[in-house]
Structure formats: structure tokens, C-alpha cells
Chains A and B, each alone.
Chain A
Amino acid sequence: MPTNLIRPDDPALHDEPVVAVATLVGATGSTSKKLGAKMIVGASGRLVGGVTIGGCVDAQVIEAADALVAGGEAKRFLSISLDDDEAWEIGLTCGGTVDVLLQRVRPRDARDPLVAAHRRAAALVDDGEAAVIVTPLDGGDPRTVVEAEAPAPSAGVFLDRVAPPTTLVIVGAGQIAMSLTALARELEMRTIVVDGRERYATRERFPCADDIRVGMPSEVVAEIRHTKRVAVVLVAHDYKYDLPVLRALLRSPVGYIGMLGSKKRGSAVRDMLRDEGYSGDEIARLHSPIGFDLGGRGSAEVALAILSEIVAVQYGKRA
């Protein structure tokens, strides 16, 4: 579930009658989190999330949030400079500003406008749709629309896009796959482990996996809904799975396809696919050797290298 969505049934909220929701709605400079990042401040003092990377301005946000929760105002807007004088003098500031919208919310009240908007967004995300929560900054209730119906960006309105999490499909239930499921959970990815071998693809070996599927891997992968938010990694290191799965993927819209193996092996696989009629553009979608070269060879290190590359591709940092 995206971190910028509020779930009224979140255990962190169930005993909070009133909270302040702080949302990062604008930023300049280099230190901000993604727009839409949220921090929830409960009447009990509880803090969930954050609106800056290191929390350098969170104290100001918390102070304003506490006042909002106590005072009953519905909304407040903060524009905070990141250039505090002391840090500036010793050259340790990133510079810039962050704009934070504070909203007073009753998380257990379905009629609360923000709760209603987030519920609808959560329902759309659960169905695999991206949604946009449209929030007027100068008053008015938020509303949720599917992404295709979102208005154009404009001053005075914040568009909070929420999308289904990345689905990481892992073909080959070995040691690297085990590390991938553990690390991917921290990245809030949904993981599906696929293998043809029942003794490998077990819940005991993959306690962190969201789904474990045993069958003909190319068929299992073909049955998964292919979108840009799907990343597929071939870590069986076995051509018997690699080639059929690649045939099922190279003409699909998945966002990332990577295959474990040396440059030589990757080259041989590309040659075979070319002989089978796949185009240069289709074959160029394959990342092999998979992952950034971080130097490590342990399974967790390889998993980290793979996930690093996937994240970079998602943010357009590597073609």
C-alpha cells in the first residue's frame, strides 16, 4: 500500500479520535521527500511517517499539528525555509523550502472528507488503478478521481497521486529470491515468487513473500497483469525458465525485466531471442547482467544490487 495513503483501519490510528495529517505539497531545493509524503500527528503524541528526509523541519510541523488537533481548526498551510541560520553559516544546509498542508482529520469517521477521499483512493489502488486525490489549498473538501480524470496541475490545488505498489515477480526460488523478498518488503513492493519446484517455493523459505506460485513459470508469469508497475527478475539461473519467461514478457508492457547471469550468458540468450524473431528494441528491454555492480557476491548483496537497479529504472535514472 502506498505510504501517502491514510488507512482508517491502520493500527496506528485506531485509537486516535483526532489526528493532524501533514502533507508535503510543495518544495524547492534538493532535500525534500516526494510530494505527497505525509506525517500523521495524533492527539496522544503519536507520530507516523514524515514530510522531510531527515526530519529537519518536522519539529515545526509537529508544533503546528499539535495546535491544530487541540484547537479545532480544519486546515493550516506552512511554508518552511530549510536555510536555518546556524547551518547556513557553517555550510551544512541544503537550501530550499517546503510547503506543508495540515488537515485535521477524524480517522474513524467515514464522513470526514479526507477519510472519504482516501477510502475511495484505497479502493481504486486495491483494484490496480492509480488515483489522484485533488485537494484545494485554500479551502474546500478533497475529492478522489481515477488518474485519467485528474485535472491539470494548477496553483491552489494539490494533486496527490497514489498508485498500486510495484509488483516484483521473482522467477526462481533460490537464495537470492529469499533475500529479494525480505528487502523488497522494506521498499513496499508486493512480491510474487514463482518456481516449478514445490520443494523450493515454500512459505517456510519465503515468509516475506506476498504470494508463492508453483507451476510452469512462463504460464504463471503470463497470468499476472502486466503493467509498468511490474518488475520481473529471473534469478533461477536456468535457461529452462529464462527463455520461456522472456518469450512471455518481451512484448508486454512490464516496467523492468532482468536476468541473472554473466555478460556471455546474456549475450547468448539475446542471440537466441534474435533468431526467434524478437526485435532489437524488444531484446534491449532485458537487463542482463542484472543489477548495479556493487561488488558484493552474497545473496543479500546481489538482491540489493537488483533492487537498486529497479528503483533507478522506475525513476528514469537508467535507460
Chain B
Amino acid sequence: MSGGSSAFRAAVLEHFRRPRNRGAFDAPSGQADGANPLCGDRVRVQLVVEGSVVTDARFTADACAICVAAASVLTDHVRGLSLGEAAAVDATWVFGALEGEPPSARRRCALLPLDTFKRALVAVGASGR
């Protein structure tokens, strides 16, 4: 990992070495897979939704440190949010949680989990749960 502030690098390394919520549910309310086709990052986000609240979130990833860290902070954050609040989470929030922005060439690494999370929310809606 090169570039970004020292705070950003520290946050990324911390979440890469000790990722929160890494793993899989047997029966999620919805899930989505995401991939960066050229660099090869692969991530899956799974959500458990009760009523209109995201009660749990997990991810699995074969991905770089920035991508894993973004998935880690994101799945931590969305627990307890309403579906509407969860849908409003954006790139600005992700960069804030990581205490900085990655170099421009690595933005897609940081934003892949967010994009995948949004599609998991759509999958929850499609499943009717």
C-alpha cells in the first residue's frame, strides 16, 4: 500500500490485520458479490435484516488491504441502521472511516465493498425480507 496519509495507512493496516465481521452467514437476508476485474479484488457482503433494520453484516474477501479495511469499517457501521440510513452511506463516509482517501488509482479498491453493500441491500429488497 503506497500513498495516503499516515492515519489512513494506520487505519487500513489495523482493519486488514484484524478485520471486523469477516465470515459468512448460513442464511442471510441478502447478499451480493463484487469484483474489480483488472486487479482481481473479490468481495461478498451479506446482510441480516429484521423488519426495516440491518441487524448484522458480514463479508468475505480475497482482496487487498484497502478493500478489506473498507469492508471491515462498513459492515461495522451499518449494524443497527434502518434500510434508508444504510442506503445513504456513501464514499465520503467510507473515506472518513478510513481517516483519509487512498491514491486515485486505488479508489476503486476502497469503494468496491460499498458498491457491493448497496447491491446486497437491493437483494434484500428483492427477497422481500
Contact = CB atoms under 8 A, between A and B. Distances in A.
Contacts of A198: 37
B83 interface: no
B40 A238 contact: yes
Contacts of A275: 17
B58 interface: no
Interface string B43-66: 010000000000000001111100
Contacts of A197: 37-40
Interface string A194-235: 011111100000000000000111110000000000000000
A240 B63 contact: yes
B105 to A, nearest CB: 15
Nearest to B44: A216
B37 A215 contact: no
A60 B40 CA distance: 57
Contact of B62 (A199, A200, A218): A218
A244 B44 CA distance: 14
A171 to B, nearest CB: 10
Interface in B22-38: 33, 35, 37-38
Contacts of A272: 17
Contact of B41 (A195, A236, A240): A240
Interface in A227-258: 236, 238-241, 244-245
Interface size class of B (residues with CB under 8 A): 10 to 19
A117 B41 CA distance: 48
A217 B38 contact: no
A89 to B, nearest CB: 63
Nearest to B109: A240
Contacts of A215: 42
A216 B60 contact: yes
A196 B41 contact: yes
Interface in B68-114: none
Nearest to A216: B42
Contacts of B41: 196, 240
Residue of A199, A239, A240 ringed by the most chain B CB atoms within 10 A: A240
Interface of B: 17, 33, 35, 37-42, 44, 60-64, 67
Interface of A: 195-200, 215-219, 236, 238-241, 244-245, 272, 275
Given A196-B40, A216-B33, 19 more contacts: A196-B35, A197-B37, A197-B38, A197-B39, A197-B40, A199-B38, A216-B42, A216-B44, A216-B60, A216-B61, A218-B60, A219-B62, A238-B40, A239-B64, A240-B62, A240-B64, A240-B67, A241-B62, A272-B17
